[in-house]
A = this chain, B = another copy of it.
Amino acid sequence: MSRIKTYDRIVEESLKLFNEHGERNITTNHISAHLGISPGNLYYHFRNKEEIVYQIFRQYRGFISARLAVAEGQALSVDDLVNYLDTAFDAMWRFRFMFYDLPGMLARNAQLQQDYHQFVHTELKGILAGHFREFIRMGLLKMDEADIEPVTLNIWLVVKFWFAFEQTAHPGEPITEADSRRGVRQVLSLLKPYVQPDFLSTFTSLSARYVD
């Protein structure tokens, strides 16, 4: 059996517990009991739960950055659009506890708040706008430069709050991967009015992949 470091196991299993029960309902005692380690051993690696949450956020950021990155001079294709959407919802799914009550969680964790803000409202906004310009240049989408920012923001809002929305639409039921697929379809509906006629059939068959 491979030897996984305690530090990594704490992060990994905390993510599972947070996703399943909500971060507010899980204490460091729950985490150490679940791992079969002493609270002292956990505190050797992390001073408090906020530090674990912060490490999970770093994984989330790394996951998105790596998968949205475009190599210098590389052209995008329609498949890239699909991959970006899959990445967005994959990330939402893997790290879903973060989005159950994001404003509340950020308010309780100053370091997380600062880095989250920097990542999403500065870095990610620029990356997404760059992708849009490339899709416009390719003739896949037709929109004015002034439309890019509000449309990007709408996409971000739908992705970010989709699971919270589904929770109020189906109270008491757990979030499933089918909810993710409905989320992708919902994002595609934001792009649909901008899709150029030549690409419409490709776009329609793309949307069909996400039917429940």
Q: Using CB atoms and an 8 Å cutoff, list the residues of chain A in contact with chain B.
A: 100-104, 106-107, 113, 116-117, 120-121, 147, 150-151, 153-154, 157-158, 160-162, 164-165, 167-169, 171, 185-186, 189-190, 192-194
Interface pairs (13), CB distance under 8 Å: A100-B103, A101-B101, A101-B103, A113-B171, A117-B168, A117-B171, A121-B169, A147-B189, A154-B189, A157-B157, A161-B164, A161-B165, A193-B193
Task: Tell me what chain A mostly uses at the interface: helix, strand, loop, or mixed.
Answer: helix
Residues of B within 8 A of A153 (CB): 186, 189
Instruction: A100-B103, A154-B189, A157-B165 given; name 20 further pairs at CB < 8 Å.
Output: A100-B104, A101-B103, A101-B104, A102-B168, A103-B164, A103-B168, A104-B104, A106-B167, A106-B171, A107-B171, A113-B171, A117-B168, A120-B168, A121-B169, A150-B189, A151-B189, A157-B158, A157-B161, A157-B186, A160-B165
Say which residue of B103, B120, B169 sits within 8 Å of A167 (CB atoms). B103
Closest to A113 in B: B171
- Lowest 3 A-B CB distances belong to which pairs? A193-B193, A150-B189, A161-B161
* Chain B residues with CB under 8 A of A121: 169
- Min C-beta distance of A136 to chain B, whole Å: 14
> Does A168 lie within 8 Å of B116, measured CB to CB?
yes
Chain B residue with Cβ nearest A102: B168
In the complex, the answer to whether B154 meets A158 with C-beta atoms within 8 Å is yes
